[in-house]
Amino acid sequence: MVQRLPLRRRSRRILLVAAGLILLFIISISTIVRLYTDLQWYREVRFTSVFWTILRSEVLLGVGLGQSSYLIVPLVLVLAGYAGTLVFTRLLGPGS
């Protein structure tokens, strides 16, 4: 049997999801407009290869840094947990 959330919590969750989607849409539109404007300018000055090089490097750096953070964040969390365990063990002592 599936438990349903109360109406108030459900409507709040729907409102938050809708607000997030609207914000994502606004950010996407502004990025697309910026890219289109830049592309038109680079076409005007006949340097479209520069535009594509810049765009490619931004995408590759973003993907590369994003992927590396998936590896670094869990490692930092594990090390912080280990360090916290050591600190509390030393504070409480072996007999506690």
Query: Which pLDDT band holds residue 51 (cuts at 50, 70, 90)?
Result: very high
- Structural domain including 69 reads 60-96
Q: Does 5 share its domain with 40?
A: yes
Q: Tell me, yes or no, whether 84 lies in a domain.
A: yes
pLDDT at 7: 64
Same-domain check for residues 41 and 9: yes
Instruction: Specify the pLDDT at position 67.
Output: 75
Please state the domain count of the chain: 2
Across the range 57-84, mean pLDDT stands at 82
Give this prediction's pTM. 0.53
Predicted confidence (pLDDT) per residue in 7-34, tens digit? 677 788 889 999 999 999 998 998 899 9
C-alpha to C-alpha distance for 94 and 90, rounded to whole angstroms: 8
- Average pLDDT value for residue range 34-51: 95
Q: What angle do CA 46, 52, 58 make, to 5 degrees?
A: 140
